[in-house]
C-alpha cells in the first residue's frame, strides 16, 4: 500500500472521529437541557395534587371527606355517621346542618402558587356543579346549629375560608397569590357519594381548562 493511500485513510478516520465528538457533544447538551428545563420538572413528575393550568398553579394541600366530626380540625363542622357523603339526606330543608338532616360537608385545603390572584368560579364534584355562596361573605364559620344567614354555605354551594382563628369565610371567591385556604363544600340534593368511591374534583379558575384532582371519599389527608 502506497504512502498516499495510508495518508488518505488516516484523513478519513480523523474526519469520522471529529463528527462523532460533535455528535456526542450535541446529545450531551440536549440531555442536560432536558434535565434543567421546566418541562422535565413538570412533565411526568407532577402529582395529581399539583396541577398547572396556563398561568395558574394550584396545589392540593389536604382534604377531609369523612363521616366524622371537626372536619379539617374546624370545630363543629360535622358529618353524620351514615356510611356516605349525603346530599339527598332530606327533601325538606337540605340547608340544615347534617345533624338536622341537611346535606353533608367536604373540605379541601388548596394553595394558589401562581403569581396572580385567581377567582374560583365553580367546584365540580363528580361533575356536579357547586357555586360560591355570597351569603357567607365575611361571616365567621359556625356550623354548630342550623342557620341560613351565611354561617356555612347552603346546599350545592361552597365558601372560601381563610386560615384564621376563629375561621372567617372570605368576602369573595378570590384566592390571592401564595394564599392557602379551605374550600368548604356543602353537597347538593341528589349527590350521595359512597365512602369507598373516589371523587373527581374540578376547580374552575377562569382558565381554558379546569384544575383537576382525584381524592378519596371517607378519607382525610
Comparing 17-31, 154-168, 189-203, the range with the smallest average pLDDT is: 17-31
Residue 46, pLDDT above cutoff 60: no
Q: Given this model, what pLDDT does residue 30 score?
A: 60
Report strand pairing: 198-204 vs 122-125: antiparallel
Banded pLDDT at 44 (limits 50, 70, 90): very low
**What are the structural domain ranges in the chain?**
3-42, 50-216
Residue 157, classified by CB atoms within 10 Å of its CB into exposed (0-12), middle (13-18) or buried (19+), is buried
CA distance 70 to 57: 29
Q: Which helix (H) or strand (E) holds 8?
A: helix 3-36
Select the more confidently predicted residue: 160 or 7: 160
34: helix, strand or coil: helix
Q: Tell me the C-alpha to C-alpha distance, in Å, between residue 136 and each of 112, 117, 150.
A: 21, 20, 4
Mean pLDDT of 47-76: 79
- Three cell numbers written together for 48: 395529581
The pLDDT tens digits of the residues spanning 73-130 come to 999 999 999 889 988 776 678 899 999 999 999 999 999 998 999 999 999 999 999 9
Q: Nearest Cα to 126, choosing from 9, 217, 55?
A: 217
Q: Given this model, what pLDDT does residue 106 score?
A: 97
Task: Dihedral sign for Cα 78, 84, 87, 88, please.
Answer: negative
CA 101 to chain centre: 29
Q: Nearest Cα to 193, choosing from 130, 121, 137?
A: 130
- Three cell numbers written together for 69: 366530626
Q: Given this model, what pLDDT does residue 41 score?
A: 35
Q: Given this model, what pLDDT does residue 88 score?
A: 77
CA 50 to chain centre: 6
The pLDDT tens digits of the residues spanning 1-32 come to 554 454 445 555 667 767 777 667 766 666 55
Amino acid at each position: 500500500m502506497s504512502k498516499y493511500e495510508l495518508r488518505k485513510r488516516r484523513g478519513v478516520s480523523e474526519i469520522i472521529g471529529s463528527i462523532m465528538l460533535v455528535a456526542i457533544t450535541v446529545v450531551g447538551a440536549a440531555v442536560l437541557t432536558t434535565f434543567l428545563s421546566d418541562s422535565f420538572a413538570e412533565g411526568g413528575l407532577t402529582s395529581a395534587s399539583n396541577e398547572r393550568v396556563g398561568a395558574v398553579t394550584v396545589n392540593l394541600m389536604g382534604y377531609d371527606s369523612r363521616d366524622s366530626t371537626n372536619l379539617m380540625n374546624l370545630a363543629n363542622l360535622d358529618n353524620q355517621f351514615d356510611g356516605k357523603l349525603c346530599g339527598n339526606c332530606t327533601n325538606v330543608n337540605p340547608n340544615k346542618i347534617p345533624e338536622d338532616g341537611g346535606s353533608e360537608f367536604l373540605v379541601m385545603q388548596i394553595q394558589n402558587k401562581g403569581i396572580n390572584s385567581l377567582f374560583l368560579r365553580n367546584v365540580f364534584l363528580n361533575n356536579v356543579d357547586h357555586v360560591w355562596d355570597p351569603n357567607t361573605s365575611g361571616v365567621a364559620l359556625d356550623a354548630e346549629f342550623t342557620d341560613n344567614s351565611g354561617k356555612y354555605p347552603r346546599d350545592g354551594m361552597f365558601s372560601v375560608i381563610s386560615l384564621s382563628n376563629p375561621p372567617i369565610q372570605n368576602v369573595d371567591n378570590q384566592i390571592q397569590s401564595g394564599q392557602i385556604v379551605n374550600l368548604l363544600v356543602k353537597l347538593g340534593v341528589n349527590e350521595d357519594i359512597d365512602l369507598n368511591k373516589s371523587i373527581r374534583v374540578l376547580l374552575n379558575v377562569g382558565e381554558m381548562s379546569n384544575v383537576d384532582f382525584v381524592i378519596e371519599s371517607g378519607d382525610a389527608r
